[in-house]
Amino acid sequence: MIPKPRRLILGLLLAAEGQPLSVRDAIAGCGLFGISANSVRVALVRLSADGLIEATERGSYRLGASAHELADDVATWRHAEQRLRPWQGGWLAVHCAGLGRSDRVALRRRTRALAMLGFRELDGGLHLRPDNIEDSVDAVRKRLHALGLEKQAPVFVAGEFDTAREAAIRKLWDGKALNASYRKLRVQLEEWLARADRLEPEAAARESYLLGSNAIRHVVYDPLLPAPLVDADARHAFVETVRRFDRAGQDIWRKLGSLSGKP
């Protein structure tokens, strides 16, 4: 699978943790996936026009202002479990029925914000998730707003649903599927790490990016459900493996840069 130049460039910038990315390094990184230098330059121009990246100096770019809030939140994936707190059975709720759907950009940002925090729609624009993240509903509200939810949307704590509705809420997430994905992806990453040192540097860099970005996306969009809705131990083991894989991947890319004569 060949990643799109835009996504790959943003991924490289995110992995750079605030350091600028030179055009030369962007071309070299994308070249590992068979992406032409011209396609990279076109992607850089379009990302700049969209405000997602900005020039820092001649031939270098960093994440732009419009990408920073999302990028900053995504970058916290390594510490996602630190947001968890004991679940007392209540629910966080967002009511979106009064918001429009004609503005596709706003709708996309709203949908992404809700998905990143694990909300699911019950009915009538009412989105719910277990009240087991952050230290207050205000912190959840601020994070949703930063990710793109309109400030007109009420964000509150809900509870004491009737038995049938409570059962329906708990079925909004497929806990069995989440548990299976934790175990499957963890095994996949562990098996790759066991053979990584036998791969050519370029192949190791390509594969580590593809496997790592997929695994990190699963962490970023994980709903962080409490037990008994999900196997929290399996999730923790998966996240720990992703952290270890990420460190190994970064080492591989740094060594590849050294072999290529890059700083």
178-200 pLDDT, tens digit per residue, is 999 999 999 999 999 999 999 99
**Average of per-residue pLDDT across 230-247:** 97
In this structure, are residues 85 and 132 in contact, taking their beta carbons and an 8 Å threshold? yes
In this structure, are residues 162 and 127 in contact, taking their beta carbons and an 8 Å threshold? no
- Give the position of tokens 């999302």: 70
- The pTM (predicted TM-score) of the whole model is 0.86
Query: Residues of the chain with pLDDT > 90: what percent?
Result: 67
Q: Of the given ranges (50-59, 125-134, 135-144, 180-189), which has the lowest mean pLDDT?
A: 50-59
Chain-centre distance for alpha carbon 201: 26
Residue burial 174-212, b: 16+ Cβ < 10 Å; e: rest: ebeebbebbeebbeebeebbeebeeeeeeebbbbbbebb
Q: Of the given ranges (97-101, 210-214, 247-251), which has the lowest mean pLDDT?
A: 97-101
Residue 36: the pLDDT is: 94
| Selection from 39, 81, 45, 34 nearest residue 230 by Cα | 81
Residue 258: pLDDT band with limits 50, 70, 90: low
What value does the mean pLDDT of the chain take?
91
In this structure, are residues 161 and 133 in contact, taking their beta carbons and an 8 Å threshold? no
7-24 pLDDT, tens digit per residue, is 899 888 877 767 888 899
Which residues lie across from 130 on neighbouring strands? Answer: 91
Residue 104: pLDDT band with limits 50, 70, 90: confident
Residue 238: the pLDDT is: 98
In this structure, are residues 127 and 96 in contact, taking their beta carbons and an 8 Å threshold? yes
Residue 261: the pLDDT is: 44
Q: What is the largest CA-CA distance in the chain?
A: 65
Residue 102: pLDDT band with limits 50, 70, 90: confident
Q: Of the given ranges (19-23, 117-121, 247-251), which has the lowest mean pLDDT?
A: 19-23
Residue 263: the pLDDT is: 38
* 249 burial via Cβ count (<10 Å: 0-12, 13-18, 19+): buried
**Average of per-residue pLDDT across 101-105:** 84
Geometric angle at alpha carbon 189, from 220 and 111, rounded to 5°: 20
Q: Would you put residue 149 in left (φ > 0), alpha (ψ -120 to 50) or beta?
A: beta
Residue 145: pLDDT band with limits 50, 70, 90: very high
Is residue 248's pLDDT more than 90?
A: yes
Residue 2: the pLDDT is: 77
**Average of per-residue pLDDT across 204-221:** 93
3-state secondary structure the chain: CCCCHHHHHHHHHHHCCCCCEEHHHHHHHHHCCCCCHHHHHHHHHHHHHCCCEEEEECCEEEECHHHHHHHHHHHHHHHHHHHECCCCCCEEEEECCCCCCCCHHHHHHHHHHHHHCCCEEEECCEEEEECCECCCHHHHHHHHHHHCCCCCCCEEEECCCCHHHHHHHHCCCCHHHHHHHHHHHHHHHHHHHHHHHHCCHHHHHHHHHHHHHHHHHHHHCCCCCCCCCCCHHHHHHHHHHHHHHHHHHHHHHHHHHHHCCCC
Residue 1: the pLDDT is: 67
In this structure, are residues 71 and 116 in contact, taking their beta carbons and an 8 Å threshold? no
